[in-house]
Amino acid sequence: MARSTAQRIATELRARVERGALPPGTRLSEEALGRELDVSRNTLREAFRLLLHDQLVEHRLHRGVFVRVPGLHDVTDIYRMRAALESAGVRAAAEAKPGLREAVTRAVTEAEWAADDGDWSEVASADLRFHRALAALAASPRIDTAMDRLLAELRLVFHSMPSPRRFHQPFLVRNRLLERLLEQGEYARAEAELAGYLTDACRLITDTMREVHP
Amino acid sequence: MARSTAQRIATELRARVERGALPPGTRLSEEALGRELDVSRNTLREAFRLLLHDQLVEHRLHRGVFVRVPGLHDVTDIYRMRAALESAGVRAAAEAKPGLREAVTRAVTEAEWAADDGDWSEVASADLRFHRALAALAASPRIDTAMDRLLAELRLVFHSMPSPRRFHQPFLVRNRLLERLLEQGEYARAEAELAGYLTDACRLITDTMREVHP
DNA sequence: GGCTAAGCTGTTGTTCAACAATCCTCAATA
DNA sequence: TATTGAGGATTGTTGAACAACAGCTTAGCC
CB A85 to CB B83 under 8 A?
A: no
Q: Does residue B3 sit at the A interface (CB-CB below 8 Å)?
A: yes
Segment B49-61 shows an average pLDDT of: 95
Q: What is the spatial distance, in angstroms and rounded to an integer, between the CA atom of A61 and the C1' atom of C8? A: 21
pLDDT tens digits, one per residue of A76-104: 999 999 999 999 999 999 999 999 999 99
Interface mutation target, options B80, B87, B95, B134, chain A, most CBs of A under 10 Å: B80
> pLDDT grade, residue B214 (50/70/90)?
low
The reported pLDDT for the residue numbered B212 is 75
pLDDT for residue A101: 96
Alpha-carbon distance A186 to B36, whole Å? 59
Reduce the secondary structure of chain A to three states and give it as a string: CCCCHHHHHHHHHHHHHHHCCCCCCCEECHHHHHHHHCCCHHHHHHHHHHHHHHCCEEEECCCEEEECCCCHHHHHHHHHHHHHHHHHHHHCHHHCCHHHHHHHHHHHHHHHHHHHHCCHHHHHHHHHHHHHHHHHCCCCHHHHHHHHHHHHHHHHHHHCCCCHHHHHHHHHHHHHHHHHHHHCCCHHHHHHHHHHHHHHHHHHHHHHHHHHCC
Chain B CB contacts of A136 below 8 Å: none
CA distance A44 to A49: 9
A157 touches chain B (CB under 8 A): no
At A203 the pLDDT is 95
The backbone torsions φ and ψ at residue B66, rounded to the nearest 5 degrees and listed phi first, read: -130, 145
Q: By C-alpha distance, which of A106, A97, A88, A111 is closest to A187? A: A88
Is A142's Cβ below 8 Å from some Cβ in B?
yes
Q: How many residues does chain A have?
A: 214
The answer to whether the CB atoms of B46 and A50 lie below 8 A apart is no
CATH for B72-212, among 3.40.50.620, 1.10.10.10, 1.20.120.530, 3.40.50.2300?
A: 1.20.120.530
Cβ-based neighbours of A100, under 8 Å, separated by 6 or more: A133, A136, A137, A139
Q: In chain A, which stretches have pLDDT less than 70?
A: 1, 213-214
Judge whether B84 is closer than 8 Å to chain A, CB to CB: yes
* Tens-place pLDDT, residues B116-127: 998 988 999 999
How many A×B Cβ pairs under 8 Å? 71
A184 touches chain B (CB under 8 A): no
What percentage of chain B reaches a pLDDT higher than 70? 99
Distance, Å, A123 CA → D28 C1': 62
What gap in Å lies between CA A3 and CA B138, rounded to an integer?
38
Q: Which residue of B has its CA nearest to A77?
A: B140
Q: Does position B54 have pLDDT exceeding 70, yes or no?
A: yes
Nucleotide nearest to A59 (CA to C1'): C12
Residues in A touching B50 (Cβ below 8 Å):
49, 52
Res B89: pLDDT: 97
- HSE of A111, CA atoms in CB hemisphere, 13 A: 26
What's the gap in Å between the CA of B88 and the closest CA on chain A?
5
| CA B196 to mean position of chain CA atoms | 19
Indicate the Cα dihedral angle B198, B199, B201, B206, nearest 10°. 140
Q: Do A81 and B140 touch (CB under 8 A)?
A: yes
Q: Sign of the CA dihedral B103, B204, A139, A188? A: positive
Q: Which nucleotides of D are covered by protein (CB under 7 A)?
A: 10-17, 20-23
> CB-hemisphere CA count at 13 Å for B47?
24
| CATH tag for A5-67 (out of 3.40.50.720, 1.10.10.10, 2.40.10.120, 2.40.50.460) | 1.10.10.10
- Is A37 near chain B, with CB under 8 Å? no
Name, in order, each residue with C-beta under 8 angstroms of B47's C-beta and a sequence gap of 6 or more.
B6, B7, B9, B10, B13, B39
Domain boundaries for CATH 1.20.120.530 within chain A: 72-212
Please tell me whether residue B62 adopts helix, strand or coil conformation.
coil
List the single residue in A with minimal CA-CA distance to B62: A4
Model confidence over B136-155: pLDDT tens digits? Answer: 999 999 999 999 999 999 99
Q: Which residues touch strand D (CB under 7 A)?
A: A 4-6, 38-43, 46, 61-63; B 2, 27-31, 41-42, 45, 59, 61-64
Q: List chain B residues with CB under 8 Å of A143.
A: 80-81, 84
C-alpha span between B196 and B207 (Å, rounded)? 16
pLDDT at B107: 96
- CA distance linking residue A156 with residue A122, whole number of Å: 16
What's the confidence (pLDDT) of residue B160?
82
pLDDT at A214: 57
| Residues of B whose CB is below 8 A from A78 | 142
- In chain A, CATH 1.10.10.10 sits at 5-67
